[in-house]
C-alpha cells in the first residue's frame, strides 16, 4: 500500500510539472522582455500593433 501511495505521488508530481503548451520558453521570455523595456506611457494593448496602443 505504501508503494502504491508513493507511486501516485510520483505520478502526480511528474504530471504537475509537464506543460501542454506549444509555446517555447524563449517566446514567453521575449514577451516579458518587451513589456519590461517599454518606455512608453501606455500600459497593456496589443503588442502586435505598430503604435503600441
Mean pLDDT calculated for residue range 15-22: 76
Predicted structure pTM score: 0.37
Residue scoring higher pLDDT (49 or 52): 49
pLDDT mean across residues, the chain: 75
| Residue 53 cell numbers, joined | 496602443
Sign of CA dihedral 35, 27, 52, 39: positive
C-alpha span between 36 and 43 (Å, rounded): 11
pLDDT of 9 reads 96
Question: b vs e for 21-49, b when ≥16 Cβ sit within 10 Å of the residue's Cβ?
Answer: eeeeeeeeeeeeeeeeeeeeeeeeeeeee
Query: Above 70 in pLDDT, residue 5?
Result: yes
A 10 A CB-CB count for 14 gives 9
Amino acid at each position: 500500500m505504501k508503494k502504491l501511495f508513493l507511486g501516485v505521488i510520483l505520478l502526480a508530481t511528474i504530471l504537475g510539472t509537464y506543460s501542454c503548451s506549444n509555446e517555447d520558453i524563449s517566446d514567453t521570455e521575449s514577451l516579458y522582455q518587451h513589456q519590461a523595456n517599454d518606455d512608453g506611457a501606455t500600459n497593456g494593448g496589443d503588442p502586435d500593433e505598430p503604435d503600441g496602443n
